[in-house]
Amino acid sequence: MRTKALYHWTKKIHTWAGLLTFSAFVVWGVTGIHAVFLPAAGEFTPPPVSSVREMAFQAPGDLDDQELSQAIFEAAEIPLAGGRYNVHRDENLNLAFNVFTINGGRELTYYEDRGVVEIAHRKNSLWSYFSSMHTAHSNRHQLVPAASAWGYFNEMATWAFLFMTISGVYMWIATRPFLTWARLSLAGMALLMLVLWIVIR
Amino acid sequence: MFRLMRNIHLGLGLVFVLMAMIFAVSSLVIIYRPLLGVSPEKSERTVQLSEQAAAGGPRAAARELMENEGFRGELRQIQEDGDKVSFRIFRPGEGVLVEYSPASRQAKVERTRHGALETMVQLHVNHGFWHDYGPSNIWALIGFLASVGLLLLGVTGIYLWWVGKTDRAVGSVLVSFSLVFGAVCLYLTRLQQ
């Protein structure tokens, strides 16, 4: 009786979890397929510049490059900015740095003589955007309500996914454990992955 | 049709359950990394390269280290700056950074070995079939097929739920919420340019 109830509720929750998190599954699946077509390590080329805007900015004279880049970063108010990096001087000795965002990176260059910051946006593709959103969780991509909400949802879907893997195996064992093809499928893949794990470890 | 879909759902689930667990566990490791306090084992030593390896360029030096020191993986990030040459030998779970001078033949070798959890994270992000290290390509293939499998599991799962006729009302609300919520969040976030 208890086993029947356990199976009944496990199946129900497994189904509900799958239906509730279906959109996350789609984003993850699409991201995983797209990843095959990403360039090899060291061969990444950024997308072309999609737009450029200029912003007036006068720097206090007593800031070093890191402090100045932080001041520019705060003034630029780039949507969904995930932090600045690669603070450096370009070939003309202008302060330059990059800002990561979910919708593509920004390259900022400060032309101190003109008092202008040039912000070049390299908008990413929809696939790269999905890839970025598939990494969202409660401590990341927290910058607008929609992104925050998706982050919490994505994290919840991860827990649901783990539950579904375990509950799925349980339901198989509880109903059709003697299916030969099912056993061979699981055993075959398990053996392959065990060998691969040993090889890389 | 129901039986076929049920068997497809079961088959895909069993074939990819372990890779799915790697994806799920590694995702949780990434999310909660600050709480987990996982840290790799690091070791460092100096190795004397042979004359041929030191003079033969970074690929020759890497090959000698792989043969003599037992490092496995693919060669990455070769950088040469005057008399300093550096490169990495990488495979999921372990990375070796080598810096050497062709003149002195002294190579500083820093080995970073990750535990099981971090190795799963590296398998999670491992992608593409361009790796020089064969097992990485196989892992990437499994990951790719698991991604396809995930989509098919979702579609067959929805079919099984609908045809099963139980919880249609609750299920309809849940899947509708998922699709609308997901679409709205993704659309609104994409508008933030």
Q: A85-120 pLDDT, tens per residue? A: 999 999 999 999 999 999 999 999 999 999 999 999
Scanning the structure block, which residue is given the tokens 């976030």?
B189
- Give the B window 34-63 contacts with A, CB below 8 Å: none
Type of residue found at B55: A
CB B135 within 8 A of CB A196: yes
Pairwise CB contact (< 8 Å): A162 & B24:
yes
Strand duo A116-123 + B41-48: pairing: unpaired
pTM: 0.89
What local confidence, expressed as pLDDT, does residue A142 receive?
Answer: 62
CB A33 within 8 A of CB B143: no
Q: Using CA atoms in the order B116, B122, B128, B134, what is the torsion angle rounded to 10 degrees?
A: -40
B72, B171, B192: residue with CB nearest A19: B171
Q: Is A133 exposed, middle or buried (0-12, 13-18, 19+ CB in 10 A)?
A: buried
Task: Write out chain B residues lying below 8 Å of A80, CB-based.
Answer: 189, 192
Residue A25 pLDDT exceeds 70: yes
d(CA A141, CA B186): 12
d(CA A78, CA A109): 14
Task: Write out chain A residues lying below 8 Å of B159, CB-based.
Answer: none
Closest C-alpha to B72, from B46, B93, B103, B50: B93
What local confidence, expressed as pLDDT, does residue A114 receive?
Answer: 93
Q: What is the ipTM metric for this complex?
A: 0.89
Distance from CA of A50 to the nearest CA of B (A): 11
The total number of residues shown for chain B amounts to 193
What local confidence, expressed as pLDDT, does residue A141 receive?
Answer: 63
User: pLDDT for B131-152, tens place per residue?
Assistant: 989 999 999 999 999 999 999 9
Q: Is B127 on the interface with A (CB under 8 A)?
A: yes
